[in-house]
Chains A and B, each alone.
Chain A
Amino acid sequence: MKKLAHFIIAFMLWQSANVGYAHEPIYGLGPETLPKYMNALEFGTRFSARAGTFQYEFGYGLGITQNWTVRLDAPAINNGSTYGLGDLRLRTKYVLWRKTAPGVLKRLTAIAVLRLPTTNENLGFNGATAMTLGIANGYESRRWYYFSDIGYTYFKSATDTQTASRFRYNLVGGIRPIKTGYLKPDLVLLIELNGELSGKMRIDGNKQQKTGGNTLAVAPGFLLSYRNLMLKAGAQFGIAKTKNVNKIATNGLISLEYHF
């Protein structure tokens, strides 16, 4: 039962574990990379209704080249009674294809995420190192935004509980309602459809039959920027599920990103 509780908390945190860069999905992977030698700092907080946890996230990103960005995220979790470090994540993105036109940018980006099991045992530690490989594409214009991505996550557990691999997919649309100038606040509204297909969890090598399935969530959000500062906020609501998985728990996030 304790193992299952830890799994649920870890699952909830994993659901909301991806903060994007700049103009890209809040919950999806996104194709955005930083300009060469651009630094990005991000501080955000998330709340998961079902797990009852607050997660504070500090991220640092660096554009190695215009096509290659690396980023380190260090979350801190507060579940009401305990406070501690969450799973550290090292992320990298590489733009495979880029096409530009006046006011339009299209990109196809490969993404890799390594998640290290650094969460305290009382905060949902499941001893699993996770590796995500994904691909994201994006269309950005002065008015419209479209993004889609897919990602596969493999867990390597140090305990007897083997978390099931997951396949995530996202579809995102966005609009800039007012086309403002450079030195004016810029608002983009987003609506995301986040899906996840998970396999069966294993305990002591045995497949747990009552695990695995498909979940679908919808997540409205916004990105509000002023020059090199961006405020992002969103909320995710589970809308459907199949088989033995829970609906994605309602959660929300707000974060501030600074480029320098």
Chain B
Amino acid sequence: MQTRNVKKQIIIRLLLLCAFVFIQAGAKADSVTQEENKTYIRIWVDGMACPFCAYGLEKKVKKIKEATDFYVGINEGFIMFVVPTDKQPSKEALEKMVKEAGFMARKIEYAEEPFKIKEGG
């Protein structure tokens, strides 16, 4: 009788463990899917001479829905940020945004992986 109870306990615990492992795996898969659905945007901006002026770009980028991780490479002349892929703004919209901040977008890059940052700022 006691042996039967022990076996029952082991089976229940194994089932719980399996359930936990499946839930964890599912969560990880979701997070990987979300990671894959991010678009990294880098804009090479001409005319960006000072950090105070670059704030105009920060303000514009923050108006893009769900844009995160805004970064300015002031000495290299680019800005970067991340958006969900399904909300990725068009090149035309980004060019307009940069123009309204008083600059010129020389090159716009989209990537699925983060861009490498050399500047320490």
Indicate whether A and B interact: yes
**A residues with CB within 8 A of B:** 22-23, 33-38, 65-66, 98, 100-105, 140-142, 176, 179-184, 186, 188, 225-228, 230, 259-260
Question: B46, A35: Cβ atoms under 8 Å?
Answer: no
Q: Which residues of B contact A141 (CB under 8 A)?
A: 49
Name B's interface SS.
Answer: mixed
A186 partner, pick from B48, B51, B104, beta carbons under 8 A: B51
Question: B101, A66: Cβ atoms under 8 Å?
Answer: yes
Question: What are 18 sample pairs from A and B whose C-beta atoms fall under 8 A apart?
Answer: A22-B52, A23-B50, A33-B102, A34-B56, A35-B59, A35-B60, A35-B100, A36-B100, A37-B100, A98-B47, A101-B46, A102-B44, A102-B106, A142-B75, A181-B74, A181-B119, A182-B54, A228-B55
Question: B119, A227: Cβ atoms under 8 Å?
Answer: no
Question: A101, B53: Cβ atoms under 8 Å?
Answer: no
Q: Which residues of A contact B49 (CB under 8 A)?
A: 23, 103-105, 140-142
CA distance A207 to B58 in the complex (A): 55
0 or 1 for each of B65-106: is its CB under 8 Å from A? (1 = yes): 000000111110100000000000000000000011111101
Given A142-B75, A181-B75, A182-B121: A105 in contact with B47 (beta carbons within 8 A): yes
Question: A230, B102: Cβ atoms under 8 Å?
Answer: no
Output the least CB separation between B115 and chain A (Å). Answer: 15
CA distance A184 to B74 in the complex (A): 11
Q: Which residues of B contact A186 (CB under 8 A)?
A: 50-52
Chain B residue at smallest Cβ distance from A38: B56
Interface residues on B, range: 20 to 34
Given A100-B46, A102-B46: A227 in contact with B120 (beta carbons within 8 A): no
B101 partner, pick from A22, A36, A176, beta carbons under 8 A: A36
Output the least CB separation between B49 and chain A (Å). Answer: 4
Question: B102, A225: Cβ atoms under 8 Å?
Answer: no
Q: Which residues of B contact A259 (CB under 8 A)?
A: 52, 55-56, 59
Q: Which residues of A contact B59 (CB under 8 A)?
A: 35, 38, 259-260
CA distance A103 to B45 in the complex (A): 8
Output the least CB separation between B6 and chain A (Å). Answer: 61
List the 5 closest pairs (A to B, CB-CB), nearest first.
Answer: A181-B121, A100-B47, A35-B56, A182-B72, A100-B46
CA distance A63 to B120 in the complex (A): 31
Q: Known contacts A35-B101, A182-B73; can you find 18 more A-B pairs with CB under 8 A?
A: A23-B49, A35-B102, A38-B56, A103-B49, A104-B49, A105-B48, A105-B103, A140-B50, A180-B121, A181-B75, A182-B72, A186-B51, A186-B52, A225-B50, A225-B51, A230-B52, A259-B55, A259-B59
Q: Which residues of A contact B56 (CB under 8 A)?
A: 34-35, 38, 259
Output the least CB separation between B7 and chain A (Å). Answer: 62
Output the least CB separation between B121 and chain A (Å). Answer: 1
Question: B121, A103: Cβ atoms under 8 Å?
Answer: no
Q: Which residues of B contact A100 (CB under 8 A)?
A: 46-47, 103-104
CA distance A176 to B20 in the complex (A): 58
CA distance A124 to B50 in the complex (A): 39
Q: Which residues of B contact A228 (CB under 8 A)?
A: 52, 55, 58
Output the least CB separation between B87 and chain A (Å). Answer: 21
Chain B residue at smallest Cβ distance from A181: B121
Q: Which residues of B contact A184 (CB under 8 A)?
A: 51, 121
Question: B121, A183: Cβ atoms under 8 Å?
Answer: yes
A227 partner, pick from B46, B55, B77, beta carbons under 8 A: B55
Q: Which residues of B contact A35 (CB under 8 A)?
A: 56, 59-60, 100-102
B47 partner, pick from A23, A104, A226, A230, beta carbons under 8 A: A104
